[in-house]
Chain A
Amino acid sequence: MTAVRCVDLCKTYRQGDQDIKALDHLSLEIGEGGFVCLSSPSGGGKTTLLNAIGGLDKPDQGEVYIAGQRIDNLSKGELAELRLRRIGFVFQAYNLIPVLTARENVEFVMQVQGVPAADRGRKALDILAEVGLEGLEDRRPAEMSGGQQQRVAVARAIVSRPALVLADEPTANLDSKTSDGLMELFTELNEHHGTTFVIASHDQRVMGYAKRIVRMLDGRIVDDIQQDAA
């Protein structure tokens, strides 16, 4: 069973009088339980690809399948439901709701899903402890460092145990020790729960943990390497 399948994706942006091919006839298949690192120089199309997989952006051409279901032609509401129930996100640009505390941010997705309060409260505390934020549960984003905010975002992405996690530069702003901690957490989820990870990163450390590295350039895949578990 494939977790993610992209077929012949194209996405062109217009910048001034120039057409930029963010995705250029890109095809990619990721099996269930995959642990993939998308890597490219800046502007290579990683974020654009993650957005297409997550149903956040419609490609100009091509098809996207999640767990065998075609999603690029779903309605907005169906896509929202898909993202809510099946995918955990760490965004590159902006991740936390400023008026909610760390704990409430982590609970947010579960709350919208309708998880009972006691249940989600416990899960939120557990996961925050796992990412090393014990004691900071009641801080709002503005009261935390960039790295701490990043870890809250990661905690939220994985707390409800989605089948697929799409993480855009999850280790940006993190020191090496914390990065290692997060990647070990990802690896554990991947191995014990079969969670599929697609991580966009040019961090060497992240690549070290990945089972497969997909290198991109100008919206195309230039290299696709399977590597043994580190």
Chain B
Amino acid sequence: MRRLRILSKLAWRNLWRNHRRTAIMLGAISVGVWAMIFMTALTQGMVTEMIRDGISALPGHVQVHHPDYRDDPSITNLIPMTDTEIAATFGPAGFSAWSSRIKVPAVITSERDSRGVTLLGIDPVRERDMIFVDYDEVEGRFLESVDDRGVVIGHKLADTLDTEVGKRIVLMSQDPDNDIADRGFRVVGLFHANVEAFEETYVFAGKKTLQNMLRVGDRVTEVVVLGEDYRNVEDEYAAVLALVDGGVEVRRWTELDTYLGTMLKVMDGFVLVWVIVIFLALSFGLVNTLVMAVFERVREIGLMLALGMKPGDILGQILIESMLLLVIGLGIGNLLAWLTIKPLEGGIDLSIVAEGMEMFGAASVLYPQLRLEDVVLANVVVLILGFLASLSPAWRASRYEPIEAITKVD
């Protein structure tokens, strides 16, 4: 430890001995680290947006259904509790948001055309911040209460059906006895969604209105609960499990949408792979720099050994030099990343390429996400792998025979 000071001093001075080489290496490390963090932030932003849209389409981080609903999402598989009992159970539980719904397949028919859709009977007051529709952006108006008599459909679907606000459509589904249940509605609003498919698929109506139309009394098909962080819904999952008895199925969103759930895991892995790939490119430069630095200094390393410095001190000196280089590079890289990501957090408009993006369920505005854990990961990977990569040149330097090294002619 006492020697740490002299070793650091030597390492620091040696680092600046060859300004040009050090500057180039610092540039490479900074840009590499910047690229790691910047790309990760973009990717994370994209994934979050995709998942958020995906979940808001489902929606709900934890969902409760009749055990058969997943295989047959029809009105015959109602939750075996009344909506009043559900409200009494979930209401006092303190979730940040929850709601109960009717969600069934239906056919929507206009004067011109008909389409298969997913019909959602919701409580519009309760769901204001839960679903993907921004009420204020709706053309016309959104639903106002559970017994609202209108429907709200997507712009895209309205185009297909050649209908508009104020016109009438017919919704047709089944009641629990497999008899046709249908009803005429007036289109009161057209919504816009980031994901085009949502505009074609989802049709919103009042929960009460649908219960009447489908003749299910005070019953629903699903209860959904939103948590604080979609990446971790275990607390909510456990809480819901504790609330309900058998006879229903409780699922996390990752189980309901396995595509998005898997994506989340894959993306975390992808970030690590990306960071390591960039590092590997960097490590060639780093090792090369150190090998050159050591090679140029054979004689003074020999001198230090001859004067009684331990091989371990030489090893330490080279490692400190490498770590200094990495830490400075990391500092600049992190700063660059912060400086470039912060101004973009308001969103990057990708509308030029948006056509393609929407196919993947991604939004046309990308919000880069600078997550602390990703930044830490990039820094830790660079430091640890950088340390390991420096071991070999440092070790070789420490193994010199003092007399051979000191008399080496250049």
Which single residue of chain A is at the shortest CB-CB distance from B404?
A57
Q: Is the CB of B299 within 8 A of A112?
A: no
* Interchain pairs with CB closer than 8 A, number: 68
- Identify the stretch in A81-89, A125-133, A205-213, A219-227 within 8 Å (CB) of chain B at 4 or more residues: A81-89
Q: Which of A1-9, A94-102, A186-194 contacts B (4 or more CB under 8 A)?
A: A94-102
Q: Are B309 and A80 in contact (CB under 8 A)?
A: yes
Whether A14 is near chain B, meaning CB under 8 Å from some CB there, is no
**Residue of B3, B6, B304, B402 ringed by the most chain A CB atoms within 10 A:** B402
Task: Confirm or deny: A66 has a beta carbon within 8 angstroms of a beta carbon on chain B.
Answer: no
Binds A, one of B9-17, B33-41, B100-108: B9-17
B300 to chain A: which residues have CB within 8 Å?
A: 94, 97-98
Q: Are B13 and A100 in contact (CB under 8 A)?
A: yes
| Chain B residues with a Cβ closer than 8 Å to the other chain, count | 26
Complex formed: what's the CA distance from A123 to B303 in Å? 22
Q: Are A100 and B403 in contact (CB under 8 A)?
A: no
Q: Does B2 contact A (CB under 8 A)?
A: yes
Point out the residues of chain B lying under 8 angstroms from A100, CB to CB.
10, 13
- A99 CA / B353 CA spacing, docked (Å): 55
Distance of B245 from chain A, by nearest CB (Å): 72
For B2, B308, B403, the residue with the greatest tally of chain A CB atoms inside 10 Å of its CB is: B308
- With A93-B407, A97-B303 as contacts: A109 and B402 at CB distance below 8 Å: no
Instruction: Determine whether A65 belongs to the interface, using a CB cutoff of 8 Å to chain B.
Output: no
Complex Cα distance, B6 from A96, in Å, reads: 15
**How near does chain A come to B402, taking the closest CB pair, in angstroms?**
6
Cα distance A111–B6 in the bound complex, in angstroms: 7
For residue B329, CB closer than 8 A to chain A, the reply is no
Residues of chain B lying within 8 A (CB to CB) of residue A85:
308
Collect the chain A residues with CB atoms within 8 Å of residue B339's CB. Answer: none
By secondary structure, the B interface counts as helix
B residues near A104, Cβ cutoff 8 Å: 9
Is A91 on the interface with B (CB-CB < 8 A)? yes
Q: What separation, in Å, do the CA atoms of A111 and B5 have in the docked complex?
A: 9
**B residues less than 8 Å from A96 (CB atoms):** 303
Q: Taking the complex as formed, is B248 at the interface, i.e. its CB lies under 8 A from any CB of chain A?
A: no
Closest to A77 in B: B310
Q: Is A56 an interface residue (CB 8 A)?
A: yes
CB pair A109–B306 under 8 Å, yes or no, is no
A93 touches B406 (CB 8 A): yes
Which residue of chain B is the closest to A104 with respect to CB atoms?
B9
1/0 per position for B268-309, CB-CB distance to A under 8 A?
000000000000000000000000000000011011111111
Report if B60 contacts A (CB, 8 A).
no
Whether A112 touches B309, Cβ cut-off 8 Å, given contacts A56-B403, A94-B300, A94-B406, is yes
> A98 — which chain B residues lie within 8 A by C-beta?
17, 300
**B303: A residues at CB distance < 8 A:** 91, 94-97
Q: Is the CB of A83 within 8 A of B308?
A: yes
- Say how far A77's CB is from chain B's closest CB, in angstroms: 6
A-B contact pairs, 6 of them (CB 8 A): A76-B311, A81-B308, A89-B306, A89-B307, A97-B304, A112-B308
> Can you add 16 more A-B contacts, CB < 8 Å, to A51-B403, A114-B3?
A56-B402, A56-B403, A81-B308, A82-B308, A83-B307, A84-B309, A85-B308, A89-B306, A93-B406, A96-B303, A97-B10, A97-B304, A111-B3, A111-B5, A112-B307, A112-B313
